[in-house]
């Protein structure tokens, strides 16, 4: 019997995780999409509409973002987020997936490749987070101050969704009300700011070079030449530290590749998925 798309929540790793699952009986390839910091599945909406026509797709709201639960008992570390994604894929009985991670989601993908390389046949990193250090001790200690989450909320209100989008996009003309409201919606309740405070405490640094060297999974790196969040030099260094990777640079493009270049990103994904295998050094 043919499966229909499934959108909802699953209790995984002691937290309710929001997901969107688009099965495709005609395809033997499954893409798992992981978004970046302060984002959600919403950022992949254009890419999902393209991918689901030909492939099986699972998109995840990484806790505490999007529609996933915000829980005071959950540990918001990269390692635990990676384990949560792994357990979610197990719930769907998925094997040998291609993981696609944007920004912070790329760092979660790299953690999965390090922890359980057998789960992935390939990986695609879109302006991936890399080489960021853990929050400094004074900030971690400050996060324990009562009502510190209100300072986090104040910072977010000051920067604003529109300003964040302008920083992430090279082409500001594509910013519209639908985009602004889509990114703003998860931040209308105080719960998210409490969870972000916990993330300040729990988030370890990005994987170091010596760990990246151990990852053998073929990786395609897509980067915008005008990425101000994760500059191109970060992608070039990551490409050197991953032994089985290729870097492609998109011209006149910022950090938010799934928003700015969904069609081009889709074509690169399709190419990488079906037409070639990188050779390890």
- List active site positions: 103, 255
Nearest residue to 87 (alpha-carbon basis) of 29, 16, 5, 2: 16
- Whose CA is closest to 4, among 20, 19, 18, 22? 22
The two beta strands, 6-12 and 15-22, are antiparallel
Instruction: Burial-class residue 74 by CB neighbours within 10 Å (0-12, 13-18, 19+).
Output: buried
Q: Is 21 helix (H, G, I), strand (E, B) or coil?
A: strand
CA distance 9 to 268: 30
DSSP 205: P
The Cβ of residue 184 has, within 10 Å, a number of other Cβ atoms equal to 14
Q: What is the largest CA-CA distance in the chain?
A: 56
| CB neighbour burial string for 185-212, b if at least 16 within 10 angstroms, e if fewer | ebbeeebbbbbbbbbbbbbeebbeeeeb
Containing 123, the helix (H) or strand (E) segment is strand 120-126
């Amino acid at each position: 019997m043919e499966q229909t798309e499934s959108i909802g929540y699953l209790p995984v790793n002691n937290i309710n995780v929001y997901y969107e699952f688009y099965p495709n009986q005609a395809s033997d390839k499954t893409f798992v999409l992981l978004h970046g910091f302060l984002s959600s599945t919403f950022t992949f909406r254009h890419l999902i509409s393209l991918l689901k026509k030909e492939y099986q797709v699972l998109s995840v709201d990484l806790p505490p973002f999007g529609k996933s639960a915000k829980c005071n008992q959950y540990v918001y570390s990269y390692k635990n987020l990676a384990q949560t994604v792994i357990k979610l894929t197990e719930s769907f009985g998925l094997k040998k997936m291609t993981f696609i991670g944007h920004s912070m989601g790329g760092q979660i993908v790299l953690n999965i490749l390090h922890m359980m390389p057998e789960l992935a046949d390939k990986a695609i990193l879109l302006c991936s987070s890399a080489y960021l250090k853990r929050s400094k001790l004074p900030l971690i200690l400050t996060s324990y101050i009562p009502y510190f989450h209100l300072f986090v909320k104040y910072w977010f209100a000051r920067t604003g969704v529109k300003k964040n989008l302008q920083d992430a996009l090279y082409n500001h003309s594509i910013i519209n009300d639908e985009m602004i409201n889509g990114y703003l919606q998860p931040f209308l309740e105080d719960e998210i700011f409490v969870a972000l405070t916990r993330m300040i405490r729990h988030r370890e640094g990005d994987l170091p070079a010596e760990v990246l060297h151990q990852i053998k999974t073929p990786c395609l790196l897509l980067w915008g030449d005008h990425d101000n969040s994760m500059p191109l030099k970060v992608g070039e260094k990551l490409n050197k530290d991953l032994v089985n990777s290729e870097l492609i640079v998109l011209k006149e493009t910022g950090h938010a590749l799934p928003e700015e270049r969904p069609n081009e990103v889709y074509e690169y994904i399709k190419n990488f998925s079906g037409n070639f295998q990188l050779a390890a050094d």
